[in-house]
Amino acid sequence: MAAKEAEQRPNPTVEIKNLRFTYPGIDGHPPPGSTPLIQDFSLSLFPGDRCLLVGSNGAGKTTILKILGGKHLVEPEMVRVLGRSAFHDTALTVSGDLCYLGGEWRREVAFAGFEVSFQMDVSAEKMIFGVAGVDPQRRDELIKVLSVDLSWRMHKVSDGQRRRVQICMGLLKPFKVLLLDEITVDLDVLARADLMKFLKKECQECGATIIYATHIFDGLEDWPSYMVYVAHGKLQLAMPMDKVKEMSNLSLMRTVESWLRKERDEDRRKRKDRKAKGLSEFENQVEGTRATGDPVHVASRALNNGWAGGRMHSTIAGEDNFFLSSNRVLR
């Protein structure tokens, strides 16, 4: 009976097993004596899951999404997306099956593949219809969902209007796994609600899996089917939304707020204890960087501890990085 049930269960679309990840220092290697930023992180998600990824600033959400999006190198068995290694199997992203819309995308989609800036004197129509191989029905639906006016000139629109065009373009190709790193910041309440409704439908009707990292919980009460809470690069909680609701009778925002408050109080207490013992207040500080190494993995530098020459983009915020940016969302 159990075997039959296991047989009927779909394969996970996202599978993370004991993930460890360390950002390299300036020499391309983790600073000696440091500890991994992401540790002991395991998670399985299935077709149809709408996962909300929450955690305080610096918890590791973006890092996890980028690893899933194949932007950082990790051991292939640690992260599987649609049964494949996102970093090694570039066909996953090229086909559109795996789609990452996050910080880099916000800056780069402006010219990546289209060779035009999102702030050029070009119409929204030209931008959107310039994407080849798209189902016209899906395109029409997205234009409607995001209320894009095709006559908008991209150099004259507001940040939110530009964002709508950008999101529309990002979603034109159907995806099986979508990774969203807070892309709705500039959207008005209506645009955001309609977009989240569209994304929910993609999961329910097409079996897509979405992981959405956000700090904005307005109107999200009934959106997620699954919650993941991460703190200091470690998984604190991963459970279906029904279970979260059983655990807490507070609103989604208040629930998350209570977790973060508890985490902050605990951090403060630890810092106070360390200070009282004459130790440095902050743990894991190596040469002023939070990017820390793993002595065990130093031996396996073939995997480069996350550094992928030529593929890992700079995440250093600065004017130079935003020259052709579609907006000014700095991370």
Ligand X SMILES: Nc1ncnc2c1ncn2[C@@H]1O[C@H](COP(=O)(O)OP(=O)(O)OP(=O)(O)O)[C@@H](O)[C@H]1O
At 227, list the tokens.
């919650």
Considering only the stretches 59-67, 119-127, 147-155, 193-201, report the one whose residues sit in contact with ligand X under the rule CB under 6 A: 59-67
- Could you give the CA distance from residue 310 to residue 298 in angstroms, rounded to a whole number? 21
HEC profile for 110-174?
CCCCCCCCCCCCCEHHHHHHCCCCCCHHHHHHHHHHCCCCCCCECCCCCHHHHHHHHHHHHCCCC
Candidate list 12, 15, 23, 157; residue touching ligand X; CB under 6 A: 23
Q: Residue 179 interacts with ligand X (CB under 6 A)? A: no
Stretch of residues binding ligand X (CB under 6 A), selected from 54-62, 73-81, 220-228, 319-327: 54-62
Residue 226 as a binder of ligand X (CB under 6 A): the answer is no
Q: Is 61 in the site for ligand X (CB under 6 A)?
A: yes
Instruction: Write down the least CB distance from residue 108 to ligand X, Å.
Output: 16
22 forms part of the interface with ligand X (CB under 6 A): no
How many residues of this chain bind ligand X (CB under 6 A)?
13
Angstrom distance (rounded) from CA 247 to CA 240: 11
Angle at alpha carbon of residue 191, lines to 186 and 192, rounded to 5°: 70
CB of 67 to ligand X, least distance (A): 10
Nearest to 255 by CA among 52, 45, 63, 65: 52
Instruction: Answer yes or no whether residue 71 interacts with ligand X by CB under 6 A.
Output: no
**Which residues in 249-308 contact ligand X (CB under 6 A)?**
290-291
Taken as a whole, the chain contains a residue count of: 331
Can you tell me the distance from the alpha carbon of 322 to that of 95, in angstroms, rounded to the nearest whole number?
27
Q: Does 55 interact with ligand X (rule: CB under 6 A)?
A: yes
Q: Which stretch binds ligand X (CB under 6 A): 1-9, 52-60, 204-212, 260-268?
A: 52-60
- Of 48 and 102, the one with the shorter C-beta distance to ligand X is 102
Per the listing, tokens 């639906």 go with 141
Can residue 29 be called a binding residue for ligand X (CB under 6 A)?
no
Q: Does 315 interact with ligand X (rule: CB under 6 A)?
A: yes
Among residues 171, 167, 96, the alpha carbon closest in space to that of 138 is found at 171
| H or E, element range at 283 | none
Q: Least CB distance from residue 267 to ligand X, whole Å?
A: 13
Closest CA to 285 of 274, 301, 300: 274
Our CB check for ligand X shows the closer of 157 and 228 to be 228
Whose Cβ is closer to ligand X: residue 63's or residue 304's? 63
Positions that interact with ligand X (CB under 6 A): 23, 37, 55, 57-63, 290-291, 315
